[in-house]
A and B are shown apart, each in its own frame.
Chain A
Amino acid sequence: MSRFHGGLAATLFVFSGLLEGTLPAQNASPLNDEEFGKILSEVNTPLDKPWRQVPWKISLLEAQNQAARTGKPIFIWAMDGHPLGCT
């Protein structure tokens, strides 16, 4: 796919990592409760990111129906790989 060659993905859907202090794997201790909790919380998209505030629909017909009701135009983010389900 060439989704990132010219797409919006990088603008809206990727975000800063929060993993300072997490050990590289080759130097890491075996996974335990502490490391597990740390990774689980840090490899997780924060809810307050601006792109998550956009009320995305994933059905084009649902979008059309809402647009017809509200009189607004439709903005379609169409990529190879789902924009909300990949990176």
Chain B
Amino acid sequence: MLKEKFVPVAIDQAYQRRQKDTEGDFYRKIAGASPRGDGSGGGTTQGLYVAAPDGSYLGFSNHRSPERIRRLLLDCLSRYQPAQTQSIRAEKTDARYNPQPPKGGLVVRVQAKILDGYQPTDDRWKKIFQSAISRDNLWISGEEHRSLARGQVPDILQRRIARFHLVDNTRGEPPMWKMAEIRKLEMRIEGKSLRGSVHLETSDSSRGYVAELFGKLQVKEGQVTRLDLVARGDFWGEGRYTRNAPSGKFPLAISFRLADGKDVADRIPPQGSRGWVRGYLTE
């Protein structure tokens, strides 16, 4: 039904509810007509919305039950009356919330999976979270791309990988690592292999990750054509929005693969860059 009867769009509303541009206006028009409100008070507007092409509000839900979502869709379809509507052109684009990957750089898909450690459960939702594979993107600048092609992993890139991508984001938005939480970090290219190790830990030792990295790199005519990397190690702790991690230390694996642009998710900015792209790329 979703594929055939609707135009489905997925967004991080932390952008759209703040955007001072055409898209932001359109989103706030819809959200503002819902029980959520338009977020002008600073609160989240997350949820599921259905709207007519002109932005007229049709329905909202913030439930994950497939049955309730199906009811929402059917209810909205029953009340929706198609009408001639003009396409909206982007008269204004808020650059802060429309970041683009660095020119001449690379986009790398990053996924994480907890390999073991959860207590067995019969809970439907816990089971899903316990087996989840996360997804984020790593952005590599043009200069860093050239360094990789020369067989070097710049320190700034190592830090970005560690701080923003060696995280447990399998249950939601994770806390990123602060600079001071990098206890040890080393990555090097040996021929066509990439090797390294990392020790990340908070000052109170409540959260940490000690891992080994191993990868493969291929370069053709100055361009990186393969960049596959895995990290595997022991993670411990959780964040405000990543509750219910396994207790104690648990094995966490993270994979990195060069994106080919065929997946729509390849276009999504890194989670760690949200509202702060410059800091993500330059710190």
Contacts and interface: CB of A to CB of B under 8 A. Distances in A.
Q: Do A and B come from one complex?
A: yes
B117 interface: yes
Contacts of B50: 73-76
A78 B45 contact: yes
Nearest to A84: B265
A2 B44 contact: yes
A74 B3 contact: no
B133 A60 contact: no
Contacts of A30: 212
Contacts of A54: 2-3, 8
Interface residues of B, number: 96
Interface string B113-150: 10111000000010011111111110000000000000
B7 interface: yes
A40 B267 contact: no
B222 interface: no
B214 to A, nearest CB: 4
Interface string A29-52: 011100110011011110000000
Interface in A1-32: 1-11, 14-17, 19, 22-26, 28, 30-32
Contacts of B136: 85-86
A86 to B, nearest CB: 6
A84 B53 contact: no
Interface string A51-87: 0011111111111111111111111111111111111
Interface stretch (B19-27, B156-164, B183-191): B19-27
**Most chain A CB within a 10 A radius of its CB, from B11, B27, B47, B251:** B11
A26 B255 CA distance: 18
B129 A83 contact: no
B259 to A, nearest CB: 12
A55 B214 CA distance: 34
B245 interface: no
A35 B232 contact: yes
Contact of A77 (B8, B90, B214): B8
The 6 A-B residue pairs with the shortest CB-CB distance, nearest first, are A25-B251, A85-B268, A31-B214, A67-B53, A63-B9, A17-B131
30 contacts: A1-B46, A6-B62, A8-B69, A11-B64, A11-B69, A15-B132, A17-B132, A22-B253, A26-B249, A32-B214, A36-B215, A36-B216, A44-B255, A44-B257, A45-B135, A60-B9, A60-B23, A64-B53, A67-B7, A71-B85, A74-B7, A74-B51, A75-B7, A75-B73, A76-B30, A77-B48, A78-B47, A80-B241, A81-B173, A82-B11
Given A8-B48, A74-B7, 19 more contacts: A1-B172, A3-B172, A17-B131, A22-B115, A22-B251, A24-B115, A43-B255, A57-B8, A58-B10, A61-B88, A64-B26, A70-B7, A73-B5, A73-B58, A73-B76, A77-B48, A79-B13, A80-B173, A86-B136
